[in-house]
Amino acid sequence: MRPTSPAPATTTVGIVGGGPAGLLLARLLHRCGIDSVVLESRDRAYVEHRQRAGVLEQGTVDTLRACGAGERLDRYGLVHHGIRLRYDGRSHRIDLPALTGGRSVVVYAQTEVVKDLIGLQLAGGGPLVFGARALAVTGADTARPVIHYAHEGREHTLTCDYVIGCDGFHGVTRDAVPTGARRLYERAYPYSWLGVLADVPPSCDELVYAHSERGFALFSMRSPTVSRLYLQVPNGTDPADWPDERIWEELDARSATDGPWELARGPITAKSVLPMRSVVTEPLRYGRVLLAGDAAHIVPPAGAKGLNLAVSDVTELARAFAHLKETGSGELLDGWSDACLRRVWRAEHFSYFMTTTLHTAPGQSTFDTRLQLAQLDRIASSPHAAAELAENYTGVPQAPVPVPVASPS
């Protein structure tokens, strides 16, 4: 006898991918009385421990609070009112609230965001199925697309009014869109990041972005006792080629300044290499299949935009679905792709600017280095240039969170 499916056979919105984008979309839809099912290929432990970005824009923080995911964020998140640029032996602080009318950012690990959203979903949301590997999405241009997935050795189908792909760039949802119906814009970078976690308090209470002829370095944190650190390295780097002492020495060299500065060192607990690229898929909708988050676009991490763009995507999308439910009009849903792409390209440009201004390309000429230093001097000396950076860093204001039809559960 065939076992019962782990999820209903039909739903209004089928969401492929249980990362922050998929989970937040499900939460927002639930508050508006719209049913959904989230299918996640990995198990819960894996999802809750995937290390990703940890800098949340003001709009992202506001959205998480509005949907009920703000309790732990407000308790453990680290509010940052500035960032520091380190270059040519100098250090300059960007005062975010002073330059943006009061906006700031919060350092709160994506792992914690995911834990919060999973807890809400399991406590009172729609079905969230772990270990459900999407095999294909069919019927994208029909009124009822279908997600085919495997769970515990059995194949199942989920018939939907709409399918939302939150399953990343290599997920199956992208394949539901014919290649002739989408355009891909892509840029690869000639360097990667070596990211490390270290059990040591941060050397600075704000993020430090360091430009050096030796390469870029970023000093961040996961908590008051755990540092998150990055070094620019060549593409194809093996983390095993970077023993702990080499990492600390290089971080120290790249952050050198004429002012007081002491790099705090401690046990390194994790190392990984992150390739860097910019990718945008257009449009974000084909028929009744829509792409959000990394399935739709990827940004290099220097601008801290990846998670924030995903939040913006699904907040706009939930608002469009709520409008459709309340009025019967698909106007917002029809315009969703164009609205999102305007924000996406703004974020892509800012991330490209931060990346190319702060990194040293292989074989870079002294002329190009002087151009980078001139740009950094411009930011340090001009309130207008500093405000442009601060406004982009804290994020373009996001769409309002859709109002729930009833008190959230």
The model's pLDDT over 82-101, given as tens digits with 9 standing for 90+, comes to 999 999 999 999 999 999 99
Tell me what pLDDT residue 218 has. 97
Reduce the DSSP state of residue 239 to 3 states and report it. helix
Note whether 92 and 127 are within 8 A (CB).
no
- Residue range 108-117: average pLDDT? 95
- Residue range 396-400: average pLDDT? 79
- The gap from C-alpha 237 to its chain's centroid, in whole angstroms, comes to 23
Q: Which of 30, 151, 156, 305 is catalytic?
A: 305
The CA distance from 270 to 268, in Å, is: 6
Q: Which of 209, 211, 300, 402 is catalytic?
A: 209
Q: Respond yes or no: is residue 209 known to be catalytic.
A: yes
CATH number of 10-54+109-182+283-362: 3.50.50.60
Name the pTM for this structure.
Answer: 0.94
Residue-wise pLDDT tens digits, 231-264? 999 999 999 999 999 999 999 999 999 888 899 9
State the chain's mean pLDDT as an integer.
94
The CA distance from 284 to 338, in Å, is: 8
| pLDDT above 50: residue 389 | yes
* Exposure letters 91-113 (e unless 16+ CB within 10 A, then b): beebebeebbeebbbbbbbbbbb
- Residue range 195-213: average pLDDT? 96
Strands of 111-239 (E only): list them: 128-130, 132-138, 146-151, 154-165, 183-198, 207-210, 217-223, 226-233
Q: Respond yes or no: is residue 305 known to be catalytic.
A: yes
Note whether 12 and 161 are within 8 A (CB).
yes
The neighbouring-strand residues paired with 39 are 16, 129
Cis peptide before 3 (omega within 30 of 0): no
| pLDDT above 70: residue 4 | no
User: What residue ranges do the domains of the chain occupy?
Assistant: 10-54+109-182+283-362, 189-275
Q: Respond yes or no: is residue 170 known to be catalytic.
A: no
Q: Which of 6, 20, 202, 301 is catalytic?
A: 301
- Tokens representing residue 263 in the block: 């790099």
Q: Respond yes or no: is residue 80 known to be catalytic.
A: yes
Tell me what pLDDT residue 96 has. 98
Q: Which of 191, 202, 393, 402 is catalytic?
A: 393
Reduce the DSSP state of residue 132 to 3 states and report it. strand
Note whether 339 and 398 are within 8 A (CB).
no
- Residue range 44-49: average pLDDT? 92
**pLDDT band at residue 287 under the 50/70/90 scheme:** very high
- Residue range 170-183: average pLDDT? 94
Tell me what pLDDT residue 408 has. 45
Tell me what pLDDT residue 36 has. 97
> Of the candidates 47, 77, 51, which has an alpha carbon nearest to the alpha carbon of residue 229?
51
- Residue range 41-64: average pLDDT? 90
- Tokens representing residue 54 in the block: 């940890």
Tell me what pLDDT residue 3 has. 41
Which option is the CATH number for 189-275: 3.30.365.10, 3.30.9.10, 2.30.33.40, 1.20.120.1200? 3.30.9.10
- Residue range 175-201: average pLDDT? 96
Tell me what pLDDT residue 398 has. 76
Residue-wise pLDDT tens digits, 128-142? 999 999 999 999 999
Residue-wise pLDDT tens digits, 7-30? 899 999 999 999 999 999 999 999
Q: Which of 80, 156, 297, 359 is catalytic?
A: 80
Q: Respond yes or no: is residue 149 known to be catalytic.
A: no
| pLDDT above 80: residue 368 | yes
Tell me what pLDDT residue 5 has. 62
Domains 10-54+109-182+283-362 and 189-275 share a fold: no
Q: Are strands 128-130 and 36-40 parallel, antiparallel or unpaired?
A: parallel
The CA distance from 303 to 218, in Å, is: 11
Tell me what pLDDT residue 1 has. 28
Tell me what pLDDT residue 2 has. 35
| pLDDT above 70: residue 407 | no
**pLDDT band at residue 406 under the 50/70/90 scheme:** low
